[in-house]
Amino acid sequence: MTLLQRIKDLVRSRSIHVSYVDVGSCNGCDIEILACLAPRYDIEQYGIYVHNNPREADVLLVVGAFTLGWEEKLKMVWDKIPEPKAAIAIGNCPISGGVFDRRGSYVDPPVSKHIPIAAEVPGCPPRPTEILSAILSIRDTVFAGWEVKQR
Ligand code: SF4
């Protein structure tokens, strides 16, 4: 691997831009994500920045049980994120449907049926520290080795 490729991987894995989408939550998980931005957890000290624009994102956080109205929209958001990219399911809802999972209802969990999920953070809701840990855990597996995978 060349020096330039090493530098690219290092920069990618140490400057992660996050976008998030709510596909049908109670807003409990959204509040925990917002807590990550506040001074107590201060997500930016880890080189993680939050954007609303998926075209500028590396990581997509997905919250909520997957409601049928998101069938095409979530795929569109996912397709707009440039490679390399990863999605993380936040909370029990996108993992299993959580409290919203009712047979024959308007939800269609898990979200991994609709887009590839690199990591899952269970909890109702999960703690901000667990959300931060999940983002940090994928940076080496998804982003640090990207240049090698392209060879
Ligand atoms: S996992 Fe719990 S807190 Fe999070 S969206 Fe679902 S019901 Fe709400």
pLDDT at 148: 74
Residues within a 6 A CB radius of ligand 1:
25-26, 28-29, 63-64, 91-93, 98-99, 124-125
Ligand 1 atom nearest 25 alpha carbon: 5
Mean pLDDT score of the chain: 92
Residue ranges making up the domain that contains 23: 16-149
Looking at residue 49, which CATH number applies to its domain? 3.40.50.12280
Flag whether the pTM goes above 0.85. Answer: yes
On whether residue 99 sits in a domain, the answer given is yes
Residue 9 · residue 145 · CB < 8 Å? yes
On whether residue 5 sits in a domain, the answer given is no
Question: What is the rounded CA–CA span in Å between residue 83 and residue 146?
Answer: 9
Question: What is the rounded CA–CA span in Å between residue 18 and residue 39?
Answer: 18
On whether residue 85 sits in a domain, the answer given is yes
pLDDT at 101: 83
Q: Among 34, 63, 88, 90, which residue has the most ligand 1 atoms within 8 Å of its CB, making it the best to mutate?
A: 63
pLDDT at 12: 83
Between the CA of 1 and the centroid of ligand 1 the distance, in Å, is 43
On whether residue 23 sits in a domain, the answer given is yes
Task: Tell me the per-residue pLDDT of 55-85, one tens digit each, with 9 for 90 and over.
Answer: 999 999 999 999 999 989 999 999 999 999 9
The tally of domains found in the chain comes to: 1
Task: Tell me the per-residue pLDDT of 86-144, one tens digit each, with 9 for 90 and over.
Answer: 999 999 999 999 898 877 788 989 999 999 999 999 999 999 999 999 999 998 788 87
